[in-house]
Amino acid sequence: MNGWILGFVIGAVVVAIVVVVLLLMIAGAKRTAEKAEAILTGLNEARDGTAGLWRVGDTVATAERIVAAAADARLRLTPDDRP
């Protein structure tokens, strides 16, 4: 009978250790998921905060067209100094 009791005690200890390890793994996974969510939120905020930078090329192209049109207008509207 002592063998059975010893077997049950060893089995209970093994089961308890497995339960503790699983609970630690679940807690770690939960913390990791929370950190990943915080990182994703930060990345989304950074993306939204810098969205205008992707349009700088369009702004530069528009400014260049305006400057070219102004220079062309100046040439056309300036009277010639020819006799």
Question: What pLDDT digit, counting tens, does each position of 1-41 carry?
Answer: 688 899 999 999 999 999 999 999 999 999 999 999 999 99
DSSP secondary structure, the chain, as one string: -HHHHHHHHHHHHHHHHHHHHHHHHHHHHHHHHHHHHHHHHHHHHHHHHTGGGGGHHHHHHHHHHHHHHHHHHHHHHSPP---
Instruction: Please tell me the pTM assigned to this model.
Output: 0.56
What's the structural domain count of the chain?
Answer: 1
pLDDT above 90: percentage of residues in the chain: 69
**Which range of residues forms the domain containing residue 55?**
2-77
Q: Compute CA 27 distance to the chain's CA centroid, rounded to the nearest angstrom.
A: 24
pLDDT band (50, 70, 90) for residue 61: very high
In a domain, 83, yes or no: no
Whether residue 82 is contained in a domain is answered as no
What is the model's pLDDT at position 4? Answer: 87
Residue 73 lies in a domain: yes
